């Protein structure tokens, strides 16, 4: 009985003492990379042909738009690469030139993207613009505070397209990879 | 070094979160007073007992049914990014749980009434418990994002987590109704120190083809996080009075609640008995320092949308800020300080036991000494046997439905000094859970030690589950007459 009295606590102690583990390396956490990619639409602009016809001169539209999304600290500090995708559709009867200027807080032009579209009927123009290591500088994106859209009518001010609801439409989306860790 | 690793891993497991612990080794271990806390209708034979303050009952448990520390951190040369992707992101589901409980009894005592059929017990303990389910779609959003996944709905309901720290004071009455039936009830007063829960979330986030623009992003959210006590302790910590704030909230200065446990033991025959108990049927009213955060609404955005013809007279406006404002109106993030009620995680135990072998204590098996392992309390003596075999069931109410464990056990009593219990348990955490419990009675000094999932001690990092219990009491049986 005495043996049992001694043996059991010893066994328990031993069990706890010899509980072991294969070698673990918690420093691996330093190597963990969390780099998700997020995608969303950026802006959509539609200018009808009836409006274009009413404005004389080459430049029928020029407007600055505030755009703080890329400047947000969470995004700007973590973005590592990305792609802006533009989709330009022209169903008007005139060739159109679109110029997108990315401006910083001082309204300095950081980057410009230009598109020229033939008069309808013409195929939709899709353009991917990469930023980061494989493309333009990410600083253009990080420092963008405004976007200036300039549209020029390279045709006349009287013709009308036969297509329904003729207009020039610029669609865009962004896909960016962030480094969260 | 190996022990150090083990301790680190225990700590790591505990950091995951908590739920109420299945104390299957302690249950129906009649020689130990703390077994009364699992079944207030347990058969008792103590005249009185007093737990050694802060040492009478210490228990801890941590479990994760889907993944272990070893799965991610083993030093096997495999890139941790591959392991996380294959074993966590690819291997876990929203039903996989990380949970843990720590319980520290600071006082526990009991005494037999002038009517020997009645035994009173009372005491108090702190309990920290937490349960978190794997937030699968949140993890997918964090690790992969939503790019190139048109029409995939990220389920915001995957976030389910709850936790609390409470001080529980209790008083129980155990009565032997007749030779075969013993019943008991225990009233509980909860003093909530900290609570948080976010368990009823709904909604989704999805990208789909836009009507105007390339992509439409829809957020349909009904999210709620309720907390209590966190702000008070945080402010107290800033002002250097966290101990005062903790003690105040622990002793009726925080959230209050009521609950009860009930249980019974019934002898089907001289050697066969069944037991059952329901624990923590109760609630806590969180009316002191409650703070809730909610995100509720639905919005679909396709970026800044400008129709030059329609907006011609208003092109100078801030389209970006208007978009942000519109989303904030449609899906407002709000905070409030409304009180709320939480229900305690109710637990159920049941068992059937058959005693066999020689009687304990010699003679006819009736106990004639002052220190004994047996269940003769209060009245007519019942023969105690050296061996018991039986089965137990345990269930607990969890946010994603009841969690059940089944156990088979064998108990061996060696004289009046030592009782050993070996138990095998199957539950969602493990199919190889073997536990051992030991109760040592050295005169009036009672010591018990228990641990389960012992096979995992070979490589504790690979374990999905680990728990322990130990305690120290002083017990008197008085004269058995």
pTM > 0.80: no
CA of B21, closest CA in chain A: separation in Å?
A: 20
Q: Please write the tens of the pLDDT for every residue from A107-162.
A: 899 999 999 999 988 999 999 999 998 899 999 999 999 999 998 999 888 888 88
Of A144, A169, A97, nearest in space to B210 by CA: A169
Question: What mean pLDDT is reported for chain A?
Answer: 86
> Alpha-carbon distance B228 to B339, whole Å?
9
Residues from chain B that touch A69, judged by Cβ atoms under 8 A, are 320
Take residue B394 and report the two structure tokens written for it. Answer: 């345990």
- Which residues sit opposite A61 in a β-bridge? A151
**Peptide linkage before A121 cis (omega within 30 of 0):** yes
* Residue B415 with chain A: CB contacts under 8 Å: 1
Do B303 and A31 count as a contact with CB atoms less than 8 A apart? no
User: Which residue in B has a C-alpha nearest to residue A147's C-alpha?
Assistant: B320
pLDDT by position in tens, chain B (length 481): 343 344 333 333 333 333 346 888 999 998 899 999 999 999 988 889 998 887 777 777 777 777 877 788 888 888 899 988 888 888 888 888 888 888 888 999 999 999 999 999 999 999 998 888 999 999 999 999 999 999 999 999 999 999 999 999 999 999 999 989 999 999 999 999 999 999 889 999 999 999 999 999 999 999 999 999 988 888 888 888 888 888 888 888 889 999 999 999 999 998 999 999 999 999 999 998 899 999 999 999 999 999 988 887 787 888 888 999 999 999 999 999 999 999 988 999 999 999 998 887 654 444 444 444 344 444 556 778 899 999 999 998 877 778 899 999 999 988 888 999 999 999 877 788 889 999 998 888 889 998 888 877 766 666 666 777 888 888 887 644 3
Angstrom CA distances, B347 to A164, B26, B142, B243, B264, stand at: 68, 15, 35, 31, 15
> Are the beta carbons of B213 and A173 separated by less than 8 Å?
yes
Q: Which domains does chain B have, with CATH numbers?
A: 2-476 (2.40.160)
- The confidence score (pLDDT) of residue A4 equals 45
Mean of pLDDT values over A73-88: 93
- pLDDT value of residue A9: 54
Verify whether the Cβ–Cβ distance A46 to B306 is below 8 Å: yes
**Which residues of chain A have a CB within 8 Å of the CB of B86?**
none
| Partner A contacted by B457 (CB < 8 A) | yes
Which long-range contacts (C-beta less than 8 Å, at least 24 apart) are formed by B448-456?
B448/B26, B448/B29, B448/B32, B448/B34, B449/A9, B449/A12, B450/B23, B450/B25, B450/B26, B450/B421, B451/A12, B451/A15, B451/A16, B451/B25, B452/B24, B452/B25, B452/B423, B452/B425, B453/B429, B454/A15, B456/B430, B456/B432
Q: Which residues of chain B lie closer than 8 angstroms to A34, CB-CB?
A: 142-143
What CA–CA distance (Å, rounded) separates B369 from B376? 12
Q: Round to whole Å and give the CA distance between A99 and B330.
A: 33
In chain A, residues with a C-beta closer than 8 Å to the C-beta of B215 are 39-41, 173
Selected residue of B214, B446, B452, B458 to mutate for chain A interface (largest A Cβ count, 10 A): B214
**Is the CB of residue B455 less than 8 Å away from at least one CB of chain A?**
no
pLDDT value of residue A137: 92
Digit-coded pLDDT (tens) for B288-335: 889 999 999 999 999 999 998 888 778 788 888 899 999 999 999 999
A:B CB pairs within 8 Å: 180
The rounded percent of chain A whose pLDDT value lies above 70 is 88
pLDDT at B148 (0 to 100): 94
- From B212, which residue of chain A is nearest by alpha-carbon distance? A44
pLDDT number for residue B19: 38
* Chain A contact for B1 (CB, 8 A cutoff): no
Distance CA B383, CA B234 (A): 56
Mean pLDDT of A32-61: 88
Nearest residue, CB atoms, B214 vs list A9, A51, A85: A85
CATH number attached to the domain at A39-178: 2.60.120.1540
- Closest CA in chain A for residue B436: A12
Residues 6+ apart with CB under 8 A from A62: A148, A149, A150, A151
Looking at the partner chain, which of A9, A171, A180 has a beta carbon nearest the beta carbon of B214?
A171
In angstroms, the CA B302 to CA B319 distance is: 12
């Amino acid at each position: 009985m005495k043996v049992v009295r001694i043996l059991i606590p010893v066994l328990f102690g031993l069990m706890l003492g010899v509980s072991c583990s294969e070698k673990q390396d918690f420093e691996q956490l330093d190597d963990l990379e969390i780099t998700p990619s997020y995608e969303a639409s950026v802006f959509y602009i539609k200018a009808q042909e009836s409006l274009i016809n009413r404005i004389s001169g080459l430049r029928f539209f020029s407007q600055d738009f505030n755009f703080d999304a890329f400047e947000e600290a969470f995004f700007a500090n973590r973005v590592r690469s990305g792609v802006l995708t533009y989709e330009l559709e022209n169903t008007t009867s005139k060739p159109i030139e679109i110029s997108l200027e990315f401006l910083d807080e001082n309204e300095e032009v950081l980057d410009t993207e230009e598109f020229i579209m033939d008069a309808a009927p013409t195929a939709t123009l899709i353009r991917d613009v990469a930023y980061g290591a494989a493309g333009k500088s990410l600083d253009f994106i990080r420092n963008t505070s405004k976007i200036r859209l300039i549209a020029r009518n390279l045709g006349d001010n009287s013709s009308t397209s036969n297509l329904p609801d003729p207009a020039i439409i610029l669609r865009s989306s962004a896909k960016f990879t962030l480094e969260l860790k | 070094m190996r022990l150090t690793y083990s301790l680190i891993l225990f700590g790591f497991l505990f950091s995951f979160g908590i739920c109420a612990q299945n104390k299957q080794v302690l249950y129906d271990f009649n020689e130990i007073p703390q077994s009364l806390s699992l079944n207030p209708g347990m058969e008792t034979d103590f005249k009185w007992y007093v737990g050694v303050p802060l040492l009478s009952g210490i228990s801890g448990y941590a479990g994760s049914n889907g993944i272990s520390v070893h799965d991610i951190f083993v030093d096997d040369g495999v890139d941790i990014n591959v392991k996380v992707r294959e074993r966590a992101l690819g291997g876990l589901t929203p039903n996989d749980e990380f949970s843990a409980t720590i319980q520290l009894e600071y006082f526990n005592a009991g005494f037999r009434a002038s009517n020997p059929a009645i035994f009173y017990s009372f005491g108090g303990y702190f309990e920290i418990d937490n349960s978190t389910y794997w937030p699968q779609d949140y993890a997918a959003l964090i690790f992969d994002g939503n790019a190139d996944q048109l029409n995939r709905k990220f389920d915001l309901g995957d976030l389910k987590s709850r936790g609390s720290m409470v001080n529980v004071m209790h008083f129980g009455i155990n009565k032997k109704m007749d030779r075969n039936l013993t019943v008991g009830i225990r009233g509980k007063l909860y003093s909530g120190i900290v609570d948080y829960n976010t368990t009823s979330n709904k909604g989704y986030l999805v990208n789909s083809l836009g009507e105007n623009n390339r992509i439409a992003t829809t957020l349909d959210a009904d999210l709620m996080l309720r907390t209590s006590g966190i702000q008070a302790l945080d402010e107290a910590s800033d002002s250097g009075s966290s101990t005062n704030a903790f003690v105040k909230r622990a002793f009726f200065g925080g959230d209050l609640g009521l609950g009860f446990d009930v249980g019974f033991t019934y002898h089907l025959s001289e050697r066969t008995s069944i037991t059952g108990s329901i624990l923590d049927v109760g609630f806590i009213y969180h009316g002191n320092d409650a703070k809730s955060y909610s995100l509720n609404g639905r919005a679909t955005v396709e970026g800044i949308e400008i129709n030059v013809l329609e907006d011609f007279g208003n092109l100078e406006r801030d389209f970006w800020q208007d978009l942000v404002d519109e989303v904030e109106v449609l899906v407002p993030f709000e905070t409030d300080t409304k009180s709320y009620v939480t229900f305690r995680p109710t637990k159920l135990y049941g068992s059937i036991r058959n005693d066999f072998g020689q009687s304990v204590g010699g003679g006819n098996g009736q106990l004639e000494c002052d220190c004994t392992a047996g269940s003769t309390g209060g009245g007519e003596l019942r023969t105690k046997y050296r061996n018991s075999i039986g089965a137990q069931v345990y269930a607990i109410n969890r946010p994603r439905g009841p969690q059940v464990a089944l156990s088979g056990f064998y108990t061996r009593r060696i004289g009046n000094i030592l009782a050993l219990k070996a138990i095998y348990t199957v539950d969602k955490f493990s199919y190889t859970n073997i536990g051992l419990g030991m109760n040592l009675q050295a005169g009036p000094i009672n010591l018990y030690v228990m641990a389960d999932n012992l096979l995992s001690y070979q490589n504790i990092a690979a374990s999905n589950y680990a728990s322990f219990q130990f305690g120290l009491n002083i017990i008197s049986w008085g004269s058995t007459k």
